Chain A
């Protein structure tokens, strides 16, 4: 009798636990996008494979805004069926590879819905900035 009660209870629990994580985001977009992305080839240094499995950078593109300011956009994807929270930060570098300090930036907290694609953007702090590094935590 007790097993008969336990099994349905376990099934219900599993459904509740997994079902709550099923509020995924469905996306739709043009099959041939009109926007021309200036994509950047990615070099990834992965140290946290757990985060990589959850939230992944799927694309990076750049543009020049306001005449001479580098703007970067990273497209992230939540590969899980549950809502995820993470931190991100951009480091900026000049032509000599020196870190450009700025009152802006630092670690930003962000969240992403299940299976959602999300873009994060940032504009370089100075016109002399030529490079960047995106960090996820």
Chain B
């Protein structure tokens, strides 16, 4: 009887352990802007883009640079954003967040038919505009010329090593240029530095 109880307890414990194991293997969703996201020291991550875009937008809106535009809301053209790091990623991870956030402020609208080196983001809209312009003899969207352009660069500094400790920094640099004057009316820089141990996960 005692042995039977022991056997049952052991079976229950083993089942609980195996069931628990099954649950963890399936993975889990985490809030991509939450505190449970992993910090990877030697790579740029989505959290870094969230931090950089947040700081840049805070700085740009606080500067009042957009308020000084004669046209409200001002039209923003996206210029060249250079990835000058040793990693491969799409710079839209930064730029799109900034665009959406600025659009929410109501102070800026982004043109998708006028782009850097004539590359429109929305080719279809550009084609429709061109067709209307041809047929009607005037630009369908005459105000799409940007009042401001956003350009910038993402830099990765040389990795610093002290013993097993590693340090990695990413520098986000952006400039908002007023097209009519050619002057950068706002400039922002945000540095994100991460430390980690070789072979480990940083925090």
Contacts and interface: CB of A to CB of B under 8 A. Distances in A.
Contact of B106 (A102, A103, A107, A127): A127
- Interface size on A, as a range, is 20 to 34
Interface in A96-125: 102-109, 121-123, 125
Contacts of A67: 64, 67
B35 A107 contact: yes
B193 to A, nearest CB: 11
B63 to A, nearest CB: 8
Interface stretch (B7-15, B52-60, B83-91, B150-158): B52-60
Contact of B104 (A102, A108, A109, A122): A102
Contacts of B57: 104, 123
Majority secondary structure of chain B interface residues (helix, strand, loop or mixed): helix
Interface in A50-72: 65-67, 69, 71
Nearest to B62: A65
Interface in B44-73: 50-51, 53-54, 57-58, 61-64, 66-67
A103 B53 contact: yes
Contacts of B51: 108
B104 A123 contact: no
B33 A66 contact: no
Interface string B13-39: 000000000000000000111110001
Contacts of B39: 109
Contacts of A103: 53, 96-97, 100-101
B106 A121 contact: no
A111 to B, nearest CB: 11
Contacts of B33: 105-107
A109 B62 CA distance: 22
A108 B67 contact: no
Contact of B35 (A66, A102, A109): A109
A114 to B, nearest CB: 19
Interface centre among A105, A108, A121 (most CB of B within 10 A): A108
Nearest to A86: B35
A65 B50 CA distance: 22
A17 to B, nearest CB: 21
Contacts of A122: 54, 58
Contacts of B62: 65-66, 71, 123
Interface of A: 65-67, 69, 71, 87, 102-109, 121-123, 125-127, 137
16 contacts: A67-B64, A69-B61, A69-B105, A103-B101, A104-B54, A104-B57, A104-B97, A104-B101, A106-B31, A106-B34, A107-B31, A107-B34, A123-B58, A125-B105, A126-B105, A137-B35
